[in-house]
Structure 1
Amino acid sequence: MGNINFVQKSNLFSYTATRCLRNEYYHNDCTLCIDICPKGAFHIVRNKLTLFENECVECAGCIGSCPTEALEIESFDPNAYAAAYQHSEETPILSCKVTTPCLGVFDVEHFTVMALRSGKNVTCDMSHCSGCVLNTNGVLEGSIREKIEETNRFLETIQSPHRIESIEEKEEESGRRALFRKGFEKVKESLSESSASLVSMTTAHHKLPDQKMPLKRILLKNSLKEIVTELEITQFPESTPLFFNKQINFDTCTNCGECTQFCPTDALFPTSDKQGIYFSQGKCIGCGICEDICKPKAITAKEGFDLVSIAYERSEQLVHYEMVTCHECRCPYPYKGGDPVCDRCASFMKSNANMFTLARDL
């Protein structure tokens, strides 16, 4: 693809290559948007994700699948919709026929934000999904249902009384549904005129300098701040698809710093003296780059999450080393006890022990 610093567009739909995990790290194998796209508009070219604009139908079904918000559509911003959901005069039903594009535009973060901020159950109209022309082999519908289930499991875990509900049967074009239909054009006009700032909310966020965090994750953390003081339990031993935890083995870590350099959201970052590593659970999006890039495999996943640490973006120091000078090569290295010899020199001496024995005998 050559230079990856560009935005590919298909009319209203856009893909920003610089925010894609596959371009952030060459060996990343994320295929979420490829797997969900009903028209096969995404392709891997030279191990980089590229959009074939002529194949894209701008359904927006892939947008919620992207962990880094590299996919957007100008006509609808799921972050803006989730943020404004609580202010709706009448709690709207999420429906591709009335209020939103394909429900695949939302992620677990969006559903959770809407439930937590509104203090109500969120209803999704799933009655059209199974017969939708975009629902090839049930993939798109399955993805949406999985996100709803993950959201409900998380809400249940934190003992929230609210859930994401679904409508499974089609309603006749009468009564309340008909009123929704009639007012839809007015709603669209209102959005374009009075809510232009909301439509561009995510775009504006991405233009902020040094902003690496997906906006949906920031909205979720801010939503947790509003409720975390009311929760009886804030620390949970189990894992969740929303939040990820890490641990670093002190004995095998070499403090090379590659995990902190390649972390796309700065969830892993060095201590001020560069002799240790901090981890912020609220920033981690579970991309797996740190675990893959670590040569000694010192970084591994860890179960459990702490809502207070996540909401207030607290960091935990995973490792810290005393740097000493190796007696052999005179280079500083993280000291772990024993003779002051770095791993490289120790390995070299062990591999070439016979050579050193012969040298002494001469």
Structure 2
Amino acid sequence: MGNMNFIQKSNLFSFTATRCLRNEYYHNDCRICIELCPKGAFHIVRNKLTLFENECVGCAGCIGSCPTEALEIESFDPNGYAASFMHQKDSTLSCKVSTPCLGVFDVEHYAVMALRGERSVTCDLSHCESCVLNENGNLKSLICSKIDTTNSFLETLEVAYRIERIDAKEEQTERRALFRKGFEKVKETLVNESVAHISMTAAHHKLPDQKMPLKRVLLKNSLKEIVGNVQTTSFEEKSPLFFNKQIDFQACTNCGDCTQFCPTDALFPTSDKQGIYFSQSKCIGCGICEVICKPKAISAKEGFDLISVAFERAEELVHYEMVTCHECRCPFPYKGGEPICDRCESYTKEFSNMFTMAKDL
């Protein structure tokens, strides 16, 4: 079960360990799906995320929350649904009519549906309160949080469309029977009618060296269409959707660990390997780069630029002149002063007593 190359499946639901942040980097502590799953189907085994298939009910409530799209349900692709939403006659999303649990969608999906459909989207949450999947309240709370984040983003863009909610409570009846009946109906409908967008994410994952989540690609392409009509494209405030980074020139050693472990290639080296670029459009805010950086040279930075996101522009955060160390004769990133690398300098200071001449004793 702990095999990194193993795709675990539970009926229609699947978990791909190789795309999981928790499995990408040993010290990452992403627990979103663990805390969200109403049935406790996810467990940590030998510090790796593992799906216990016999405990999973395939509700799809966790899918939209996975930042790297490691979770999928075979009968419904939220990316394909969002991309084709403009062709849907009904703008209402409901787990009893057209979709699985609305937890299948992320902020990017809601934004894409509003922007591409050029209309407001209505989420029917009237039965969430009494749903068996929402026993601890986490699922509805997260769906509402995503809707609020999307509306804040749409307001920033100054577009008229919003993600609206239907919150009226329904009669409390046999909740488990209601859920089973509703899910089976949706599953049957989706299998019969949504073939066009079932395999969109699967096809994206098969592309060579494609690490960027498809939901980010869809949002980026949607922004291309409207960014020319947005009055302000550069913002100084922190965004829950787009992330920014900075690198301290003096602290950075240009070791390359941050570029090697970035799961989406948001950080990548310059062609001469003497600098580091950063792409806001690809960053998912996982924080791996900040944790792995030994000298703590990388840190989060406020502000985001819509044009950089839409057109995938990268910014060079740091660049060094490589010179040869006078002690070990190895190249190192020069930052001024004596041409001696940090390793030789620290070694000389720590073990200076070993180089004391006999005449000086």
Q: TM-score range by the shorter chain?
A: over 0.9
Closer/same/farther in 2, CA of residues 349 and 81 from structure 1, 3 Å limit: same
Q: Is residue 2:105 matched to residue 1:110? A: no
Query: Percent same amino acid at aligned positions?
Result: 75
Structure 2 counterpart of 1:51: 51
Deviations 1:139-178 (A, max 9, x none): 1110101101111111112212211100111589xxxxxx
The alpha-carbon deviation at position 206 of structure 1 amounts to 0.8
Q: Where does the alignment leave 5 or more consecutive residues of structure 1 unmatched? A: 173-183
Any idea what SS the aligned residue of 1:134 has? helix
Q: Does 1:67 align with 2:67?
A: yes
Give the drift of 1:355: 3.5
Q: Which residue of 1 aligns with 2:178?
A: none
Which whole-Å deviations, capped at 9, do the CAs of 1:85-133 have from their partners, x for residues lacking one? 1112x23311111111100000000001011111111100011011111
Task: Return the alpha-carbon distance in structure 1 between the equivalents of residues 253 and 190 of structure 2.
Answer: 53
Task: Report if the CA contact (8 A) 2:76-2:197 is conserved.
Answer: no
SS, match of residue 8 in structure 2: strand
Show the counterpart of 1:40.
Answer: 40
* Contact 1:94/1:103, CA 8 A, preserved across alignment: yes
Q: Which of 313-322 and 196-205 deviates more?
A: 196-205
Question: Aligned equivalents of 1:236 and 1:316: distance in 2?
Answer: 16
Q: For residue 322 of structure 1, what is the amino acid of its counterpart?
A: E
C-alpha separation between the residues in 2 aligned to 1:146 and 1:360? 73
Partner of 2:261: 262
1:9-48 matches, within 5 Å, as 9-48=9-48
Partner of residue 231, structure 1:
230
Rounded to whole Å, the distance in 1 between the matches of 2:137 and 2:358 is 70
Q: Equivalent residue for 2:175?
A: none
CA distance in 2 between partners of 1:327 and 1:359 (Å) = 24
Q: CA deviation at 1:197?
A: 3.3
Q: Which range moved further: 185-194 or 269-278?
A: 185-194
Give the secondary structure class of the aligned counterpart of 2:50.
Answer: strand
Instruction: Give the superposition deviation at 1:204.
Output: 1.1
Could you tell me which residue of structure 2 aligns to residue 217 of structure 1? 216
How far apart, in 2, do the equivalents of 1:212 and 1:102 lie?
26
Cα shift at 1:209: 1.4
Is residue 162 from structure 1 mapped to residue 161 from structure 2 by the alignment? yes
Name the CA distance, whole Å, in 2 between partners of 1:79 and 1:101. 13
The yes-or-no answer on 1:83 pairing with 2:83 is: yes
Q: Distance in 2 between matches of 1:84 and 1:114?
A: 8
Contact 1:41 1:52 in 2 (8 A): yes
1:327-348 deviation line (CA, Å, top 9, x unaligned): 0111110000000000111111
Cα pair 2:97 2:186 within 8 Å, conserved: no
Determine the C-alpha separation between the residues in 2 that align with 1:121 and 1:352: 68
- Aligned partners of 1:92 and 1:99 also within 8 Å: no
Q: Within 2, Cα distance between the matches of 1:10 and 1:317?
A: 43
- Structure 1 runs (4+) greater than 6 angstroms displaced: 184-190
Please state how far the C-alpha of 1:354 moved relative to its aligned partner: 3.5
Deviation at 1:71, TM superposition (A): 0.4
Distance 1:158 1:352, change over 3 A: same
Contact kept? 1:326, 1:341, Cα under 8 Å: yes
TM-superposed CA distance for 1:189, in Å, is 7.4
Q: Paired residue for 2:197?
A: 198
2:137 aligned partner: 138
CA RMSD of aligned residues (A): 1.9
1:75 deviates by 1.3
Deviation at 1:28, TM superposition (A): 0.4
